[in-house]
Structures are given as structure tokens and as C-alpha cells.
């Protein structure tokens, strides 16, 4: 009974939803095999193209996008796709029940250095009364997600998944390629000892965020009266995974580096799925103004500030930022 699909069925997932998860598991299994072979699978290095966000695509970004897209397009329960690597939505099946948003390869700068990378996914129900191929299908709050998760390609391959009631972690058994439940009903401790933020952006943050992080860094001698450790893996999957397993707070706040783009992380396929995993595990996930899951996407590749993790620490941070 510790098999992924038995567990999903037990939690009430419909056969159609399980079909979508099967497609994601198959695609990410294929990606995992290539990641394991690394340079031998000819997957390292950059392409000469940029994605819709103006980022140089790594070869594995392109390969992973093709794999996830192809597997999902073959699944009859999928109506429409949105990918970080696709400018527009990709229509699948007219009578499909679900929309899937995904980041095929999160943490691209880690690919060539053999550090953690992942695939993030988010599944929504189709909206009635809206054209099935319309981008507006994705204009739903993150709370409407029926399933969200990520596959982390690290020393072992893990699947973190939630249907909104439990956050569960499965480990891929390489001998039979089956995911087994290895951590059930995860709970993030409310107080944090660790924070994750890209400190090199500090002078571009708003002053309230600078004040919050300064107070963390002051440790026992500052107003927080305790020491905080810092970790940053440069892949959201790696950092959020640590928080789900060990606790802490993850931040990618707004900054003034680029006036056209005050936030970095994308709502549909980064912030929302991570927010559902974190909230289900007893944590909190906010933009600087509201719960991430209450934010309705106005654009496919919309970006939002992200503050997530230990509930008390997110509140402490919001106390500075929303003052």
C-alpha cells in the first residue's frame, strides 16, 4: 500500500486524475534516467535559443519540455497545457478534464554542475463556460489546484505530491522504477532556524525586506534573539524540499533590478504548486500582499514575489514587509 498510485486512489483521486499523474511520472522517469547519465546522455550545455522569458535555454530544458509535453498530450484526461518553455498554451484533448501547468526543468543553472534540479507541476480542473483552448482557463486561484508537486532529481529521485489533504514524499526505487511512500503527512515546524534567499540582490530589495534579513543575520545579538543559518541551492525545488523536510523560510522577494519585472518566480508553475505543498504541510505561502493561493493569474507567465515556509517565520517577515 505504499505504492504511489494505490495511495492516490485511497485519497480519492479519480482515474482521470491518476492518469495525468501517471503521464507525469512516466515523463519525469525518462528525464531522471537522462539526468543520471549526465554528460554520457549528451544533455549538458546551452542551446542557442531563448525561451519566452528571454532566458537562454539549456539543452535539458528543451529535452525535458518535449518529454513532459509529449507524455501529457498522449493522456486523454488532459485538456490544455502551460509550460515555462512555451509562449502560449498548448491544446491537448477537447474532452479532457484537466489543465496542467509545469516547469519542465527547474534550477537550470544547476544542470551542468550535477546539483539538484527538478520538474514542478500543477493540475487544475477545466473551467466550464470558457473555451477549452483559451489561456483564460488558467485564470484560477491556486486554491483550485486538484494536485501539485515536483520531482527532484538529486542523489535519489523523489516525488513530492499533494491532492490538498496530505503532503507526501515518494522515493523512486531504481530497481523496479516504482515510487514508494517514504515520508507521509509532512508538517513544517512553525518556527524556523534557516532561511533561503539570494543575498546578492539585497541592495535591490525594498528597505523593509532589507531590515527583516538584517535582523535574521544579527542572530542572538539582534531583535530576533536567536541565530539563523542560511542555505541557497539556486533551484527552487531544492530549497523548498529542504523546507518541507527540515523547516525554514524561502524568499524570492520583489526587487528593483528590472522595472518591467519586479518579481522573478512564476505564479502558475512555480509559486502555486509549492504554495499548495507548503500550506498542506502546515506552512504559509505569501506574495508580499496576500496568500499566493488566493492570487488569480492574469497572464500565463505572471511572476510573483514568494515568501513561504514555517508559519511563524512567514508571519514575522510579513510583519516587516506589510508595515
Radius of gyration over every alpha carbon of the chain, rounded to an integer in angstroms: 19
Cα 249 to Cα 6, 151, 171, 273, 288, distances in angstroms: 32, 20, 24, 16, 14
Distance of CA 99 to the CA centre of its chain: 16
Nearer to ligand F6P, 106 or 194 (CB): 106
Q: State in angstroms the smallest separation of the CB of 177 from ligand F6P.
A: 26
Residue number, 117 or 311, with CB nearest to ligand F6P = 117
Q: Which three cell numbers stand for residue 21?
A: 499523474
Binding to ligand F6P (CB under 6 A) within 223-242 occurs at 234-236
Of 119 and 140, CB closest to ligand F6P: 119
Nearest distance from residue 265's CB to ligand F6P, in Å? 6
* Residue 304 beta carbon to ligand F6P: minimum distance, rounded to whole angstroms: 12
To the nearest 10 degrees (0 to 180), the angle between helices 311-321 and 207-218 is 130
Q: What residue has cell string 495525468? A: 20
Please select the residue that binds ligand F6P; options are 107, 142, 273, 305, rule is CB under 6 A: 107
Task: Give me the least distance between CB of 306 and ligand F6P, in Å please.
Answer: 9
Q: Considering beta carbons, is residue 31 or 144 the nearer one to ligand F6P?
A: 31
Dihedral over Cα of 54, 55, 59, 60: its sign? negative
Distances (CA, A) of 145 to 225, 293, 294, 312: 38, 9, 11, 25
Provide the mask over 87-106, with x wherever binding to ligand F6P is found by CB under 6 A and - wherever it is not. -------------------x
Q: Closer to ligand F6P at the Cβ: 151 or 163?
A: 151
Asked whether position 305 contacts ligand F6P by CB under 6 A, the answer is no
Q: What is the nearest approach in angstroms of ligand F6P to the Cβ of residue 223?
A: 27
Of 1, 6, 8, nearest to 161 by C-alpha is 8
Return residues touching ligand F6P (CB under 6 A).
106-107, 198, 234-236, 252, 264
Amino acid at each position: 500500500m505504499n505504492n504511489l498510485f494505490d495511495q492516490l486512489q485511497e485519497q480519492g483521486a479519480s482515474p482521470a486524475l491518476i492518469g495525468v499523474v501517471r503521464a507525469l511520472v512516466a515523463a519525469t522517469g525518462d528525464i531522471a534516467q537522462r539526468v543520471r547519465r549526465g554528460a554520457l546522455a549528451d544533455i549538458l550545455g546551452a542551446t542557442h535559443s531563448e525561451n519566452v522569458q528571454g532566458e537562454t535555454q539549456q539543452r535539458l530544458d528543451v529535452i525535458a519540455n518535449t518529454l513532459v509535453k509529449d507524455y501529457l498530450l498522449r493522456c486523454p484526461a488532459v485538456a490544455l497545457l502551460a509550460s515555462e518553455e512555451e509562449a502560449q498554451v498548448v491544446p491537448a484533448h477537447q474532452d479532457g478534464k484537466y489543465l496542467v501547468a509545469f516547469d519542465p526543468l527547474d534550477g537550470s543553472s544547476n544542470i551542468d554542475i550535477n546539483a539538484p534540479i527538478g520538474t514542478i507541476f500543477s493540475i487544475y480542473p477545466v473551467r466550464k463556460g470558457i473555451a477549452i483552448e483559451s489561456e483564460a482557463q488558467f485564470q484560477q486561484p491556486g486554491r483550485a489546484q486538484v494536485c501539485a508537486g515536483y520531482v527532484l532529481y538529486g542523489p535519489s529521485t523523489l516525488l513530492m505530491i499533494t491532492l490538498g489533504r496530505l503532503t507526501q514524499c515518494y522515493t523512486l526505487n531504481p530497481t523496479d522504477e516504482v515510487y514508494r511512500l517514504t515520508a507521509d503527512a509532512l508538517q513544517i515546524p512553525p518556527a524556523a532556524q534557516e532561511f533561503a534567499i539570494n543575498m546578492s540582490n539585497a541592495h535591490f530589495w525594498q528597505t523593509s525586506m532589507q531590515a527583516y534579513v538584517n535582523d535574521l543575520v544579527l542572530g542572538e545579538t539582534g531583535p530576533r534573539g536567536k541565530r539563523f543559518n542560511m542555505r541557497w541551492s539556486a533551484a527552487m525545488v531544492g530549497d523548498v524540499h529542504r523546507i518541507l523536510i527540515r523547516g525554514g523560510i524561502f524568499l524570492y522577494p520583489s526587487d528593483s533590478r528590472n522595472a518591467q519585472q519586479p518579481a522573478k518566480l512564476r505564479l502558475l508553475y512555480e509559486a502555486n504548486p509549492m504554495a499548495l505543498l507548503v500550506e498542506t504541510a502546515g506552512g504559509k505561502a505569501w506574495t508580499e500582499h496576500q496568500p499566493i493561493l488566493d492570487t488569480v493569474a492574469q497572464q500565463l507567465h505572471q511572476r510573483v514575489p514568494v515568501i513561504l515556509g514555517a508559519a511563524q517565520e512567514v508571519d514575522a517577515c510579513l510583519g516587516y514587509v506589510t508595515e
